[in-house]
Structure 1
Amino acid sequence: MKYRILIFLLAIIYVLLSVEDFEAKKVVAVHEEVLQKSFSATVPEKVKEEKITYFETTDAQKKWVDSVYKSMTLDEKVGQLFMVAAYSNKDSAHVESIDKLIEDHKIGGLIFFQGGPVRQAKLTNRFQAKSKLPLFIGIDAEWGLSMRLDSTYRYPWNMTLGAVQDMKLIEKLGAQMGEQSKRMGIHFNFAPVLDINTNPKNPIIGNRSFGEDKENVTDRALALMKGLQSQGVFATGKHFPGHGDTDKDSHYTLPTISFNKERIDDVELYPYRKLINKGLASVMVAHLNVPSLEKRSNYPSSISYNIVTNILQKELDFEGLIFTDALNMKGASSFKKPGDIDLEAFLAGNDILLFPENVPVAITKIKEALQTGTLTEKRLEFSVRKILEYKFKAGLHSYQPISLLNLHSEINTMEYDALQYDLYQEAVTVLKNKDEILPIKNLERQKIAYVKLGDDIHSPFVETLSQYAEITEVTDSSLLGITTKLKEFSTVIIGFHKADGAWKNHDFKENELVWLYEIARTNKVILDVFAKPYSLLQLTTTENIEAIVVSYQNNPIAHSVSGQLIFGSIDSKGKLPVSINEDFAVNHGIQLKKNNRLGFGVPENVGMNSLILSRIDLIAQDAIDKRMAPGMQVLVARKGKVIYQKAFGHHNYDKRTEVKNTDIYDVASLTKIMATLPAMMQLYERGLVNMDTKLGEMLPVFKGTDKEKINFKDFLSHYARLQPWIPFYKTTLDANKKPLDNYYRKSYSNDFSLQVAENLYMRNDYRDTILKIIADSKLLPKREYKYSDFTFIVLRDYIEKTTGKTLDVLVQENFYQSIGAHYTMYNPLRKFDMSVIPPTEDDTYFRNQRIQGYVHDMGAAMNGGVDGHAGIFSNAMDMAKMMQLYLQKGTYGGKTYFSKKTFEDFNTCYFCSEGNRRGLGFDKPQLGTAGPTCGCASMTSFGHTGFTGTMAWADPEQEIVYIFLSNRTFPDSNAPNNLSKNNVRERIQQVIYDAIEK
């Protein structure tokens, strides 16, 4: 009772007296003390977890702190309280002003804002050299150093991380941010943000928050804190007591938190209580009006003794450093003048005064308060000693300047991209999936369009989608025009792309909403939102939208990951961090399972070293420089992810057309395992052939010949004594090496329909002649391994006779269309322009023209470009899909093409003990010194090479796919094969194995 009377009397005194008056300040100090006792007496007991003190005090620390403190002047002690704003992108006047504050006013630290990493490091070294006691260096780097510095790494926003369910990844993120900060000589990262963003209209927190659920926010903030502090960098929880439910920005005004004490204690203070118990190093106090915690009207929380001292330090038992939010913000600076606001903040219990507007005036005010007794020496000593303790813990007792050597590369490693891929794979969230439209299936029945909404980049997203299927980007200036064009498509993917800025407007425009609703009304639509999830609040209905994906941010990695999810290369794991109207509640997220299509990442995602893998670039460029080939494509995939895909050089030596990853090469003998072999594996699976099936049973032309009893196993193992090759074309030329008229015509006709090259057509029945020549050819005298094209020429005829379909049609229907190999085909000029097909030769001996878009192999050309041993054109990505199908032993994209047993039967080396390394159709690694690989691939690996300078290889043990495509035969296929002599393909393969982390 007596306390209540005393409080009442003191309150009256407080109203009557001016707080600017010295005597009144003494009364206020007493008032605060009584308030503290009264408040503490009414706080219910908390059930506390065992508290962790992350930074233990040591005898060495205590000794150093005592020694330094005793040697400090009053000016030096007061100066330690100030952390001043510094920039590495300003002029010399700014730098000199900081010099003066360090030398004349002994400031304790700097908070860096805009600039660049090397410039900031240089300035840090300069300023540290001028300071008697090393400075604290702080930075706002909530999503990495790039929040403030150019040329540094940018991580996802906290809102994006709010969708991530694996806390170990967020802890790893914190550790990487800590590594980068430490390398930059930074001691405090003012993160994590602990604000619980329950107000979608919050203008300053929003995406800086982990979400609206206190448990989710706490779990992620704790993980980030652990990661940061594991590297010796201090984390700072902010903005105390909670800035999440405001619609005002404290940079410009004083926002009000209108909740009662119980609500604030239950929600806003929840993450602080948890993190403090786990060793949070520091807290930043916001400029907020919180009537339930501070009775004085419109009194900023940053200068409230009750909030800073009673609640934060005493109720929450926080013993770490306490920062004010920036004192130049209007939420504070509008309340009191520079100097006065600093003093009030220190009296309230803050240790470090951040971004003061006028340090000399503030120092004078604090020294005057010491002289008058408003501020005690004990209070000053309490904060200064704490600051010194943390400087010791930061290693500033043995300060070393920042090394500038390799600084940029060391804070921008490929490991950071690897984590970024992992984070987005965890974050991207499926909100709706009507009729299981995701992941997209049955590509052979799909015709897919893409429509862009929003005003930011979208091309990496479309490029990723195009790695899986043919995607047509549809544009038009009118809604009618675009809906008319979309009628022919089975599925429309709409990407909403907004600039990747935390404070930028991510709303749909009114006309965009109209377009979205109308397209969705008349088409199957997948909406992918590369923007804040709050942008979906504008949707009044999602009824006609089949699928909704939230990808959170608009950047190339988010584009890649989201495209992979749409086509099933990855699982969907993300959960919504905030509520979206009544449609989608917080923590909503549909979990989808991947379907084993190839995905994308960086080498470090799959246990490989980017730096080592980059040696491929040197080998490829050296080969081009030495004219071993005009250009090439190289692709490496591991564990189901493409982690290296590059194009080198030009289409030919005139260097007019650079090679692109989408260009199409004549893959020569890779046709054997890309077309003929998988078709035969399906027939084998159906029981139409077996290991003992005889050639005479397969094709009548071989009955009665010396090849009649060759069995299937010997035949496909190149162990059947067949001739390697016959130049069939030579007998169709005259003495001057010109095509004979009885075999060729210059234009198409019903009898001459097999196009050999431009303006050159062969008579239809010559296909039978080629088969008869093979049947009549002599067997080799000795049974030994001898590579022969005859096997696959013969198998083409068998496949077509058995299935009733031509080989080109069959493989399109059975494989290429459904796996999304839409750049792979025989006779590519029927679909693609010649400009995307590198030439293979300037032919002077048969067709007498540049061979470009027509198969190089003469025998295949005489069969109209479609044969079992050659004729396929493709690019590295499409080839990788087929090799991945093999690596997965017959499955791809959720479909089974043949059984695991069938694959194993064909990938077995049946005659290795006899010196024959071949499987059934597949080539295999070396036996001894002879073979197509680097000697580093496992014996279970398989693949093939091609005459035009190609290679496709897969290794089940290391889960590697390697593709090499070139046109080394240009301009003259009879020139020395320097690509092979210099082992270019094999040396690249060796680099791939060297890059695997042991």
Structure 2
Amino acid sequence: MKVKLFSYLFFIVSLGIFAQESHPLKTEDFRVQKAWVDSTYQAMNLDQKIGQLFMVDIFSSKSKAETDKIKELIKENYIGGIIFSKGGPIRQAKLNNEYQELANVPLLIGMDAEWGLAMRLDSTYAFPWNMTLGAIEDNRLIKKTGAQIAKHCKRLGVHINFAPVADVNNNPDNPIIGNRSFGENKINVTEKAIAFMQGMHSEGVLSSAKHFPGHGDTDVDSHKSLPSLDFSKERLDSLELYPFKRMIAEDVSSIMIGHLNVPALESRVNFPSSLSKPIVTDLLQEKLNYKGLVFTDALNMRGVADYDEPGEIDLAAFQAGNDILLISEDVPKAAEKIKQAYLANEISEERLAKSVKKILSAKYKVGLNNYQPVDTNYLIEDLNSLHNDLLYEELMENAITVIKNNKGVLPVRDLQKQKVAYVNLGDSLTETSFLQQLKKYTKVDHVKAEHLNDLLTKLEAYNLVIVGYHKSNSSPWASYQFSDNELVWLHEIARKNTTILSVFARPYAVLDIKSTTNLDGIVLGYQNSQIAQEKTAQVIFGALPAIGKLPVSLGENFPVGTKFTTQNLHRLAYGMPESVGINSAKLHKIDSLAQLAVDEEMTPGVQMLVARRGKVIYQKNFGYHTYEKELPVTDSTIYDLASLTKIMATLPLVMELEEIEKIGLDTKLKEILPETKGSNKANITLKEMLSHYAQLKAWIPFYTETLAEDRTHASAKYYRSEASDLFNVPVSEKFYMRKDYQDSIYQQIIDSDLRTKKEYKYSDLPYYLLKRFIEYYYERPLSELTQQHFYEHLGANYLGYLPTEKYPLDQIAPTEVDDYWRFNKIQGTVHDQGAAMFGGVGGHAGIFSNANDVAKMMQMYLNKGRYGGVKYFKPETIDKFNTCYYCDKEVRRGVGFDKPQLDEVGPTCGCVSMTSFGHSGFTGTFAWADPEEEVVYIFLSNRTYPFASNRKLISEDIRTKIQELIYESIMY
């Protein structure tokens, strides 16, 4: 007996520690508020006062007959509030205005918007579930979420959001809380709930901690039956009540009482806590000294509704100490019961005034003393602004959690060694956003089979398998469990392959996996939203670090708080413009210029990409492969990069050789190509010729010497329609050049005259010579060297020479209808004639790619030589080649890189920094990087199709006008 008494006294004393000193419903102008409350209360008759106790529910999606019933309750029963449920925002706003117009005292409008208005309404935004937020360590983001949801509530005329859920979900089988809880750690739950609450308060929306005294450790849904909390007072005090006590100390606006059987706090058997005076009044309001509003949970839920008749339940709830009776099953009957009890002195005037004045204080606090109707103009737009996605993106970047990382399988490194397969389990049977994002980093094959053995056989060709487990994202209660068949498949896949499992569902799904021993990596994406999938893929490939922490325990191997922080490999990430200081609206003005280029037939199609601070924030396609408009341009459309080859292929190999001191900027041609000794080019340095300051001719039309005398066709002396030992250089389809003519090309360059004046003149010729040197040095072709030294490591699988060896022809945009030499459509083979005469592998031309892979190379340069955890160059090497050595000679070029113009005419908009660099290509391509603004801009097109004489893209300066708009969109 003494032990029990001590325990009870300990319980009482510990509650007092959190006793509330302030009043959560007071405003700064408390005296004015009190005067308004008192005068409003005094002007009411008894029926009007009792009416204030009721908050009734309505679906804005209901029929007019149903919504009109609320009007009757307003006029006849003077109800004090409305809780809106399912429907749409415009319909709700209109109903809200109609209802408020009828009310003598403005109505307090409430909603369940735990993860946003989308919890109840269509055409509104859904933020991550609380379980997802529970994985985030930075509680400032939780506060931002509460504030953003509150903005939506306020815009829609909602005054109180019944959030946050303060239940500690330490029961994985909880059927109703689960994802709605911040997790099972009471400290984490409490801090998250307080932050969320503070965010709502900052926007003038009332909060509600629920479901007192704690609904987390239950396995019954109180909507269907009465759950029990069969725990001691000490356990309840230390765990279930902990968040509520802390929130009371932080001035939570209201507390919602759950329908729970709590024997330690209420002696009556199976007596709902919402009707219990010992819980609602004695514990909450007296022992915890709570002064804010007290709501019942919905009184039509079976956890309480089965206890007694409508009306009787409401009376009992009010007598227990609740202020607002939520969703009464029969308001007129309940109001009459309370009135009778009042008239019979079972309810005192003091008791009635206490609740009604609290309700009026809340109404004053949310501005209902100066009610304004909801403006329906631009309502949908306001509720669905880009700021929602921006916040969601930030939340997911901070939530994604790695709970297993054997041998550092995450993030995926050494892409040149990886052959990656994707297998999907769960509900998603088609290509997902997750898979599409994975493919941006390297080649990933979607491997499918109807039978497990067939799948395992197919997977033998891969050394890494990424399994995506996708479940419905429609609600936090959606099914999340693996099927028995899926568990077998997952076990066998992991047993035979290096496997990363990505879970896009409630984390408790992992509990179904009998053994995770063979899984090398486990990543929790928590939800199956597009953003969650994209961000998880970025974490897997090291574009983002994993920094989330497991909010619940998943068996012995994964206790609550499990966290593997993975490395940021600084691969390109993908996200929203505002996340890197770019204004979306201004940035998307570039759409119109790209579309204009297509509409005015400056080019059949355009592929564009913009990145800032290592994040791709714009990636769009316009038009088609040709003017016949049969194949639209997509992210995987491949373009002939033309002269971008110089900085994508030859230059990085030269930089590599310079860094290992095999050559230097002052190295002379005769030192690397002995055949130039004695020629007029022998003493030209690398720096001079790569800066286009070496008196070299711009180009030599080598192909013209191989035409027949009448120039109507290629000479049989040099070409054949079928390959042979001598004629083995593939120029284009069924068009083979004799191999020995390449030596003639080199000799023509060596023998060519120099320009009379030493001045800036752009020339392709240095890159022919450098190709010859590099291939001699390594004894391997340029096409192999670029792949092995750069592209494979970068995961740039679209970037390279000879694209038809890897990709179908219809994925490659054609570049010209050649009517002067090859006499066919140039598609999949290089457009440049000189490069074509080297089998498509030129030092100055021949590289094909999509915009995404060009961006990887440019970002590597911008990262001072690092990308994907690989160091390609020293920072000083990048700086050395990105220097204008002859600016004083009016030569703007760096060593290989183009640079901004020195006067009015040049390759850029004139708005970029002088440290910026890039290149343009004859076919209508452009790549530029700016270290100061950390911007990468890629523009790919085939403006030369069908004829290279179409110079409208160039004359209209489309590429640089787009660049100018990009810079105008920079906010900070």
- Shorter-chain TM-score category? over 0.9
1:451-462 alignment to 2 at 5 Å? Answer: 451-456=423-428, 459-462=432-435
Distance 1:633 1:535 in 2: 40
Match of 2:497 among 523, 526, 545: 523
Tell whether the 8 Å contact from 1:85 to 1:355 is kept in structure 2 after alignment: yes
Larger deviation: 490-499 or 414-423? 414-423
Distance 2:926 2:179 in 1: 47
Match of 1:466 among 439, 443, 458: 439
Match of 2:762, SS? coil
User: Is the alpha carbon distance of 1:45 and 1:306 closer, same or farther for their aligned partners in structure 2, counting shifts above 3 Å?
Assistant: closer
**Letter of the aligned partner of 1:494 in structure 2?**
V
Counterpart of 1:943 in structure 2 is 918
Tell whether the 8 Å contact from 1:40 to 1:310 is kept in structure 2 after alignment: no
Counterpart of 2:829 in structure 1 is 854
Distance 1:112 1:910 in 2: 70
Tell whether the 8 Å contact from 1:51 to 1:279 is kept in structure 2 after alignment: no
Distance 2:701 2:503 in 1: 58
Counterpart of 2:792 in structure 1 is 817
- How far does residue 54 in structure 1 lie from its aligned partner after superposition? 5.4
Counterpart of 2:689 in structure 1 is 715
Q: Are 1:101 and 2:76 an aligned pair? A: no
CA offsets per residue over residues 702-758 of structure 1, 9 Å max, x none? 211111111111111001111111211111112133110011110111211211111
Tell whether the 8 Å contact from 1:51 to 1:278 is kept in structure 2 after alignment: no
Distance 1:868 1:129 in 2: 76
Larger deviation: 67-76 or 709-718? 67-76
Tell whether the 8 Å contact from 1:942 to 1:953 is kept in structure 2 after alignment: yes
CA offsets per residue over residues 934-985 of structure 1, 9 Å max, x none? 111111111011111111011111111110001111111012x111221211
- How far does residue 47 in structure 1 lie from its aligned partner after superposition? 3.3
Distance 1:381 1:916 in 2: 85
Counterpart of 2:571 in structure 1 is 597
Match of 1:411 among 380, 383, 386: 383
Counterpart of 2:648 in structure 1 is 674
Match of 2:105, SS? coil
**Letter of the aligned partner of 2:966 in structure 1?**
I
Distance 2:13 2:341 in 1: 31
Counterpart of 2:886 in structure 1 is 911
1:800-811 alignment to 2 at 5 Å? Answer: 800-811=775-786
Tell whether the 8 Å contact from 2:15 to 2:288 is kept in structure 1 after alignment: no
Counterpart of 1:32 in structure 2 is none
CA offsets per residue over residues 898-949 of structure 1, 9 Å max, x none? 1111111000111122211110000111212121111111111110111111
Distance 2:744 2:782 in 1: 19
Q: Which ranges in structure 1 are unaligned for 5 or more consecutive residues?
A: 2-34
CA offsets per residue over residues 124-180 of structure 1, 9 Å max, x none? 112112222211111111111111111111111111111111111111111111111
Distance 1:126 1:706 in 2: 90
Tell whether the 8 Å contact from 1:40 to 1:315 is kept in structure 2 after alignment: no
Matched residues, number: 962
Q: Are 1:794 and 2:769 an aligned pair? A: yes
Distance 2:667 2:23 in 1: 76
Q: Are 1:575 and 2:538 an aligned pair? A: no
Match of 1:825, SS? coil
Match of 1:943, SS? strand
Counterpart of 2:862 in structure 1 is 887
Distance 1:686 1:55 in 2: 72
Match of 2:211, SS? strand
User: Is the alpha carbon distance of 1:228 and 1:950 closer, same or farther for their aligned partners in structure 2, counting shifts above 3 Å?
Assistant: same
Match of 1:72 among 44, 47, 51: 44
User: Is the alpha carbon distance of 1:46 and 1:72 closer, same or farther for their aligned partners in structure 2, counting shifts above 3 Å?
Assistant: closer
Tell whether the 8 Å contact from 2:228 to 2:262 is kept in structure 1 after alignment: yes
Distance 1:600 1:663 in 2: 19
- How far does residue 857 in structure 1 lie from its aligned partner after superposition? 0.8
- How far does residue 456 in structure 1 lie from its aligned partner after superposition? 2.8
Distance 1:970 1:159 in 2: 53
- How far does residue 55 in structure 1 lie from its aligned partner after superposition? 5.0
Distance 1:408 1:622 in 2: 30
Distance 2:207 2:967 in 1: 40
Q: Are 1:509 and 2:479 an aligned pair? A: no
**Letter of the aligned partner of 2:680 in structure 1?**
D
Distance 1:354 1:626 in 2: 62
**Letter of the aligned partner of 2:888 in structure 1?**
S
Distance 2:743 2:552 in 1: 69
Distance 1:328 1:694 in 2: 89
Distance 1:265 1:320 in 2: 20
Match of 2:519 among 545, 552, 576: 545
Counterpart of 2:460 in structure 1 is 487
Counterpart of 1:368 in structure 2 is 340
- How far does residue 50 in structure 1 lie from its aligned partner after superposition? 7.9
**Letter of the aligned partner of 2:527 in structure 1?**
Q
User: Is the alpha carbon distance of 1:48 and 1:864 closer, same or farther for their aligned partners in structure 2, counting shifts above 3 Å?
Assistant: same
Distance 2:573 2:53 in 1: 52
Match of 2:17, SS? coil
**Letter of the aligned partner of 1:982 in structure 2?**
E
| TM-score, length-scaled by structure 1 | 0.95
Match of 1:617 among 586, 591, 605: 591
Tell whether the 8 Å contact from 2:480 to 2:506 is kept in structure 1 after alignment: yes
1:306-325 alignment to 2 at 5 Å? Answer: 306-325=278-297
**Letter of the aligned partner of 1:768 in structure 2?**
D
Match of 2:465, SS? strand
- How far does residue 338 in structure 1 lie from its aligned partner after superposition? 1.1
Tell whether the 8 Å contact from 2:20 to 2:289 is kept in structure 1 after alignment: no
**Letter of the aligned partner of 1:632 in structure 2?**
V
Q: Are 1:447 and 2:447 an aligned pair? A: no
**Letter of the aligned partner of 2:17 in structure 1?**
V
Distance 1:758 1:53 in 2: 83
- How far does residue 258 in structure 1 lie from its aligned partner after superposition? 0.3
Q: Are 1:331 and 2:334 an aligned pair? A: no
- How far does residue 416 in structure 1 lie from its aligned partner after superposition? 1.6
- How far does residue 44 in structure 1 lie from its aligned partner after superposition? 5.2
**Letter of the aligned partner of 2:934 in structure 1?**
E
Counterpart of 2:35 in structure 1 is 63
Distance 1:968 1:52 in 2: 70
| TM-score, length-scaled by structure 2 | 0.97
1:865-884 alignment to 2 at 5 Å? Answer: 865-884=840-859
Larger deviation: 318-327 or 123-132? 123-132
**Letter of the aligned partner of 2:867 in structure 1?**
Y
User: Is the alpha carbon distance of 1:496 and 1:45 closer, same or farther for their aligned partners in structure 2, counting shifts above 3 Å?
Assistant: closer
Distance 1:846 1:690 in 2: 39
Counterpart of 1:632 in structure 2 is 606
- How far does residue 405 in structure 1 lie from its aligned partner after superposition? 1.6
Q: Are 1:664 and 2:638 an aligned pair? A: yes
Match of 1:779 among 748, 754, 765: 754
Distance 1:912 1:353 in 2: 79
Tell whether the 8 Å contact from 2:23 to 2:291 is kept in structure 1 after alignment: no
Match of 2:243 among 262, 271, 276: 271
Q: Are 1:925 and 2:900 an aligned pair? A: yes
Distance 1:399 1:949 in 2: 59
Distance 2:578 2:19 in 1: 38
Tell whether the 8 Å contact from 1:53 to 1:278 is kept in structure 2 after alignment: no
- How far does residue 269 in structure 1 lie from its aligned partner after superposition? 0.8
Q: Are 1:499 and 2:490 an aligned pair? A: no
Distance 1:108 1:45 in 2: 32
CA offsets per residue over residues 231-256 of structure 1, 9 Å max, x none? 00111100000000111010011111
User: Is the alpha carbon distance of 1:48 and 1:96 closer, same or farther for their aligned partners in structure 2, counting shifts above 3 Å?
Assistant: closer
Match of 1:753, SS? strand
Distance 2:90 2:903 in 1: 53
User: What's the RMSD between the two structures over aligned residues?
Assistant: 1.6
Q: Are 1:47 and 2:8 an aligned pair? A: no
Larger deviation: 663-672 or 497-506? 497-506
